[in-house]
Amino acid sequence: MEDLDHRVNVAIIGAGWAGMAAAVTLAQARIPVTVFEAARHLGGRARSVEIEGIELDNGQHIMIGAYRETLRVMRVVGADPDQLLLRQPLAIEYPGKFSLRAPRLPAPLHLIAALLTAGGLTWGERMAATRFMTAMRRNAYRIATDMPVSELLALYRQSGALARYLWEPLCVSALNTPAAAASAQIFLNLFRDALDGARANSDFLIPRADLGKLFPQPAAAFVRANGGSVLLGTSVRTLAEAADGFALDDRPGRYTHAIVAVGPHQIDALLDRFAALASTRQLVAAFDYEPIYTCYLQYPPQVSMPQAMTGFDGGIIQWIFDRGRLSGTAGLLAAVISARGAHQILSQDAVANAMHRELAAFLPGLLQPLWSRVIAEKRATFSCRPGVARPENKTAVSNLYLAGDYTASDYPATLESAVRSGVLAARLVLARERSR
């Protein structure tokens, strides 16, 4: 190996999935890295939290088979996706209303077969869905001008149950933005990778362990084992250029490179000493944000849902995850609401009560939960609207890079866009140094 490690010394600010993916990529190349994390825990917006003595998550997450970089970096740090994730062929179930299951056929036949056999669609809706898919495929999933998902659906007559139980829930879950506001092009990018790649790309991958174990914790162990440091409870307030590299606050050390991997709403103070980054700060300041609410409801152990993930409509719950089926915490349900909505004006108790009532209507005889807890992540992701300009990983300042789910990508803000951005920022450091 070349002696890059004697010249290079990288500071990474933020230990979310983007920062840790950058750190792992550099540590793999034996580059000295120091990760600074303000919180006392790893993982940022996808982290473990302890509730009632149980390791849970700040929010229920789901991945898809197309998350190739996330699955790759998990393997690099020894977190086995086959053990840690429940892999299910694409299946959407709104009990008594809609049901779609992809058979084990090659793509895109699996989706066409799923649409043609879906329960709850009229024959006309099935044909409309197949025509929509064929048209998108013919155009290589590109539209000339971006528009809201709901406009694209209207153009291709995707209405009724098709919109209500398939496209709109997929859009809200994947882009965390309501279909009336979400970018159709970003939706189609995911559609392309998930539904028109290998059949396994459309599989749902639902965590069986808490989020920390999936990547952030083994990633930190990997970085430390390869000579790097991960410092928790260490907020960086200022980042500045110095004659001998980058200086962080008034710390004595200097870093040849810096990767800023904080959330978009946390970035401004870290970039304000760089005049060349004024336009980057403006781009990010223009973002709008969407919340995600997760409510854990603990029922007696015999309570369970018919499957690991069930769609709900007509109330405030969008999806229910049965954590008993997923991670053995019998009777524990996680109810999820993505994106903005009327639930935001309710108190957390009112949200939990409304969710219990919706569950009780589905599971007759359901008693009050033993406990419940709402976690409202108010700025879960940026609002993924048509034409949102996102900053590149490479900045106008030499050796200073950005990583995070909000940076330029053809994906919405997801674990996969976070991981890809971190890997890319690290590879930019490596490429630049190797070319010297």
Rule CB under 6 A: choose which of 10, 11, 12, 18 binds ligand FAD. Answer: 18
Interface pattern 79-118 for ligand FAD (x via CB under 6 A): ----------------------------------------
Asked if omega into 300 is within 30° of 0 (cis), the reply is no
> Which residues are paired to 258 by β-bridges?
11, 400
Q: How far is the CB of 382 from ligand FAD (least distance, A)?
A: 9
Q: How far is the CB of 400 from ligand FAD (least distance, A)?
A: 15
Count other Cβ atoms within 10 Å, centred on residue 365. Answer: 6
Q: How far is the CB of 15 from ligand FAD (least distance, A)?
A: 5
Q: Is 405 exposed, middle or buried (0-12, 13-18, 19+ CB in 10 A)?
A: buried
By CB under 6 A, which span of 44-52, 95-103, 155-163, 341-349 interacts with ligand FAD? Answer: 44-52
Rule CB under 6 A: choose which of 4, 5, 9, 39 binds ligand FAD. Answer: 39
Does the protein bind ligand FAD through residue 201 (CB under 6 A)?
no
Residue ranges in 357-386 that form contacts with ligand FAD under rule CB under 6 A: 377, 380-381
- The Cα–Cα gap between 80 and 215 comes to 10
Does the protein bind ligand FAD through residue 24 (CB under 6 A)?
no
For ligand FAD, the closer of residues 45 and 257 by Cβ is 45
Rule CB under 6 A: choose which of 11, 36, 128, 297 binds ligand FAD. Answer: 36
By CB under 6 A, which span of 13-21, 157-165, 190-198, 307-315 interacts with ligand FAD? Answer: 13-21
What is the CB-side half-sphere exposure of residue 263 using CA atoms within 13 A? 21
Q: Nearest CA to 214 among 406, 61, 4, 430? A: 61
For ligand FAD, the closer of residues 329 and 414 by Cβ is 414
Does the protein bind ligand FAD through residue 62 (CB under 6 A)?
yes
Residue ranges in 210-249 that form contacts with ligand FAD under rule CB under 6 A: 235-236
Rule CB under 6 A: choose which of 11, 12, 13, 428 binds ligand FAD. Answer: 13
Rule CB under 6 A: choose which of 10, 17, 170, 334 binds ligand FAD. Answer: 17
Torsion angle (degrees, nearest 10) of CA 285, 26, 219, 63: 60
Q: How far is the CB of 44 from ligand FAD (least distance, A)?
A: 2
Residue ranges in 242-301 that form contacts with ligand FAD under rule CB under 6 A: 261-263, 266, 292, 294
For ligand FAD, the closer of residues 46 and 230 by Cβ is 46
Q: How far is the CB of 429 from ligand FAD (least distance, A)?
A: 17
- DSSP letters spanning 217-262: HHHHHHHHHTT-EEETT-----EEEETTEEEETT-S--BSEEEE-S
Q: Identify whether the C-beta of residue 321 lies closer than 8 Å to the C-beta of residue 336.
A: yes
Rule CB under 6 A: choose which of 133, 219, 415, 426 binds ligand FAD. Answer: 415
Q: Identify whether the C-beta of residue 54 lies closer than 8 Å to the C-beta of residue 301.
A: no
What is the torsional sign of CA 174, 178, 182, 187? positive
By CB under 6 A, which span of 40-48, 180-188, 323-331, 356-364 interacts with ligand FAD? Answer: 40-48
Cα-flanking dihedrals φ and ψ of residue 321, to 5°?
-110, 130
Total chain residues near ligand FAD (CB under 6 A):
37
Cα-flanking dihedrals φ and ψ of residue 341, to 5°?
170, 180
- The Cα–Cα gap between 334 and 56 comes to 10
Measure CA 116 to chain center: 30
Q: How far is the CB of 47 from ligand FAD (least distance, A)?
A: 7
Q: How far is the CB of 329 from ligand FAD (least distance, A)?
A: 18
Q: How far is the CB of 126 from ligand FAD (least distance, A)?
A: 28
DSSP helix/strand/coil, 194: helix
Q: Identify whether the C-beta of residue 81 lies closer than 8 Å to the C-beta of residue 194.
A: no
Q: How far is the CB of 36 from ligand FAD (least distance, A)?
A: 5
SS (H, E, C) 376-413: EEEEEEECCCCCCCCCCCECCCCCEEECCCCCCCCCCC
Q: Identify whether the C-beta of residue 206 lies closer than 8 Å to the C-beta of residue 62.
A: yes
- The Cα–Cα gap between 373 and 378 comes to 15
Q: How far is the CB of 58 from ligand FAD (least distance, A)?
A: 6
Binding residues for ligand FAD (CB under 6 A): 13-19, 36-39, 44-46, 58-59, 61-63, 235-236, 261-263, 266, 292, 294, 377, 380-381, 404-405, 413-416, 418
